[in-house]
C-alpha cells in the first residue's frame, strides 16, 4: 500500500513537469520556424544564413551548433540568442536540427 502512494506521488510530480516542457518545446519550435526562418529560410533550407537541414548539418558536432546558437558568430549576421534561450534550449534546438527539425503542431491553446 505504501508503494502505491509512493507511485501516485511520483506520477503527480512527473505529469505537470512533462506538460511544462511540452509547452516549452512547442514555443521553441515556433520561434525557430519564425525567427530563425527569417534568415535560414522558412523550410530552413537556407537564405541569408546557411541551410539547417539534417543533410546540411551531417558531421557537425552538436556542441558547436549549440554554441553557435547561444553565442552567435561574431563578424557574421548570426546573432547570439542567449538573451532568449538557456544553454539547454540551444542544445535542444541543435539536437532537433541534427535529427531533422519538427514541424509546428497546432495543439497549443
Ligand atoms: C540575422 C540572420 C540570422 C538569424 C535571425 C539567425 N541566423 Fe543562424 N546564421 C546566420 C548566418 C549568416 C550564419 C552563418 C555564419 C557563418 O558565416 O559562419 C548562421 C549560422 C548558424 C548555424 C551554424 C550552421 C553551420 O553550418 O555551422 C546555426 C546552427 C544557426 N545559425 C542556427 C540558428 C538558429 C537556431 C537561429 C534562431 C534561434 C538562427 N540561427 C537565427 C544568420 C542568422
Q: How far does Cα 81 stand from its chain's mean position?
A: 12
Going from the C-alpha of 72 to that of each of 7, 49, 90, the distances in angstroms are: 44, 12, 11
Q: What is the full per-residue pLDDT of the chain (109 aa) written as tens digits? A: 566 666 555 555 555 566 678 899 999 999 999 999 999 999 999 999 999 999 999 999 999 999 999 999 999 999 999 999 999 999 999 999 999 999 988 655 5
Place of cell 509512493: 6
Give me ligand 1 centre to Cα 107, in Å: 28
Is the separation of the CB atoms in 92 and 28 below 8 Å? yes
Candidate CATH numbers 1.10.760.10, 3.40.50.720, 3.50.50.60, 1.10.10.10; the one for domain 25-109 = 1.10.760.10
User: Comparing C-alpha atoms, which of 39, 98, 37 is closest to residue 63?
Assistant: 98
Tell the residue nearest (CA) to atom 8 of ligand 1.
Answer: 78
Domain locations along the chain: 25-109
For the Cβ of 60 lying below 6 angstroms from any atom of ligand 1, the answer is yes
- pLDDT of res. 105: 82
- DSSP structure class, residue 48: S
Amino acid at each position: 500500500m505504501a508503494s502505491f502512494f509512493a507511485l501516485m506521488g511520483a506520477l503527480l510530480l512527473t505529469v505537470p513537469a512533462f506538460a511544462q516542457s511540452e509547452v516549452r518545446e512547442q514555443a521553441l519550435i515556433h520561434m525557430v520556424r519564425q525567427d530563425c526562418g527569417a534568415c535560414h529560410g522558412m523550410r530552413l533550407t537556407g537564405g541569408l544564413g546557411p541551410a539547417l537541414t539534417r543533410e546540411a548539418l551531417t558531421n557537425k558536432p552538436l556542441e558547436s551548433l549549440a554554441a553557435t546558437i547561444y553565442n552567435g558568430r561574431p563578424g557574421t549576421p548570426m546573432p547570439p540568442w542567449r538573451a532568449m534561450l538557456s544553454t539547454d534550449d540551444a542544445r535542444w534546438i541543435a539536437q532537433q536540427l541534427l535529427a531533422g527539425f519538427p514541424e509546428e503542431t497546432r495543439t497549443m491553446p
